[in-house]
Structure 1
Amino acid sequence: MGQTAGDEGKTAKDRELLSASAAFDGDSSCIGAARHLATGFLTEVQAVHGLPVSERAMGMTELVVSELVTNAVKYAPGPVMLDLTISKGGVRVSVWDSDPVLPDVAATDPQRVGRHGLEITLAVSQGFEVHREPVGKRVTALIALADDPGGSIAGRTAP
């Protein structure tokens, strides 16, 4: 695997991470394309690289990608970038958009229709981060690849 711009200080092992990325125009057609990229990536991770990916992980990754990309398309003008990386027993789903406003979970309201994407993402992810970027923000969720009734991933255990 060759070196790419920006990885000058990384070791060969760091560059060997399994990953896939795509930039989208930011219109609603990119949501399906992003889901397709995620399922294709995890299918390859399993078939070519032999890493176990449970059906739950496949479905939850597709759901999180869909929710995060939908939010980016809905609330941020312009392009959307999706990065998928295998890291510490999970898949890291990272979505960048141009809006610097950080997302927040809406207050519980049984009458509310919609605006549940972030709630869903938090419920099915083992980790979640939001960072402002020089332009826009990056929202990242971690989803375990293998089913684990004990709720642990990479040494982290559930309360």
Structure 2
Amino acid sequence: MRSDADGDGCAGADVHLMRAGYALDAGSGCIVDARHHALAFLDQAQAAHQLVVSDRARDLTELVVSELINAHKHAPGPASMELRITSRAVEAVVWDSDPRVPAAQPADPVRIGQHGLEIVKAVTEDLLIERAPIGKRITARIPLSDTPSDAADRR
């Protein structure tokens, strides 16, 4: 996991082929809505740019979006999600107004819940957590292929 106060370190040299933003309601259906937005976004990107999006990438995108949005349920105020795609990865960016930066907790086999950040770190190619002028922004990058990158292997 990296932390970067100067902008989006996850963007790298890849060009974003497509972006979409969504305002999130704190209601009980926001996780389901975010997952539906993510899958529709991937479908649209595949059709518009002839991208190959593996089943693994679809599943992991749904999982990551779910975990990042679930964490927002504990933050006060508004939140948003942006999805971006390059020729090789999808990025899920979640912003909320809570300035507290999350941290993975130490391993505890009896702890119930609060494993979301650990899960996201384990399945993403790159994870960036940064403070925003108001709140924080979390950017998670998921490769489109079935083969994890060297960066994911190093973690």
**TM-score of the superposition, structure 1-length normalised?**
0.82
Shift of residue 158, structure 1, vs aligned partner: 3.7
- SS of equivalent to 1:68: helix
Compared CA separation, residues 110 and 117, structure 1 to 2 (3 A): same
Shift of residue 120, structure 1, vs aligned partner: 0.6
1:92, 1:142 within 8 Å by CA — same for their partners in 2? yes
Segments of 5+ residues of structure 2 without an aligned counterpart are: 1-14
CA distance in 1, matches of 2:91, 2:113: 25
Letter paired with 1:124: V
| 2:44 corresponding residue in structure 1 | 44
CA distance in 2, matches of 1:27, 1:78: 12
- SS of equivalent to 2:35: helix
- Once the two structures are superposed, residues 103-131 of structure 1 have per-residue CA deviations (whole angstroms, 9 ceiling, x without a partner) of 01111110011001101100100000001
| 2:146 corresponding residue in structure 1 | 147
Shift of residue 133, structure 1, vs aligned partner: 0.6
**1:132 aligns to 2:134 (yes or no):** no
Shift of residue 47, structure 1, vs aligned partner: 2.4
| 1:62 corresponding residue in structure 2 | 62
Give the alignment's Cα RMSD to 1 decimal: 1.9
1:86, 1:92 within 8 Å by CA — same for their partners in 2? yes
Q: Which 4+ residue blocks in structure 1 deviate beyond 4 angstroms?
A: none
Identity of aligned residues (%): 46
Compared CA separation, residues 23 and 88, structure 1 to 2 (3 A): same
| 2:121 corresponding residue in structure 1 | 122
Shift of residue 72, structure 1, vs aligned partner: 0.8
- SS of equivalent to 1:131: strand
- Once the two structures are superposed, residues 11-53 of structure 1 have per-residue CA deviations (whole angstroms, 9 ceiling, x without a partner) of xxx6x73111100122222111000000010011112321000
- Once the two structures are superposed, residues 50-85 of structure 1 have per-residue CA deviations (whole angstroms, 9 ceiling, x without a partner) of 100000000000000000011012x21121100000
1:25, 1:78 within 8 Å by CA — same for their partners in 2? no
Compared CA separation, residues 133 and 60, structure 1 to 2 (3 A): same
RCO higher in 1 or 2 (8 Å CA, sep ≥ 6)?
A: 2
- SS of equivalent to 1:33: helix
| 1:83 corresponding residue in structure 2 | 82
**TM-score of the superposition, structure 2-length normalised?**
0.84
Number of aligned residue pairs: give it. 141
| 2:7 corresponding residue in structure 1 | none
Shift of residue 146, structure 1, vs aligned partner: 1.0
CA distance in 2, matches of 1:52, 1:17: 13
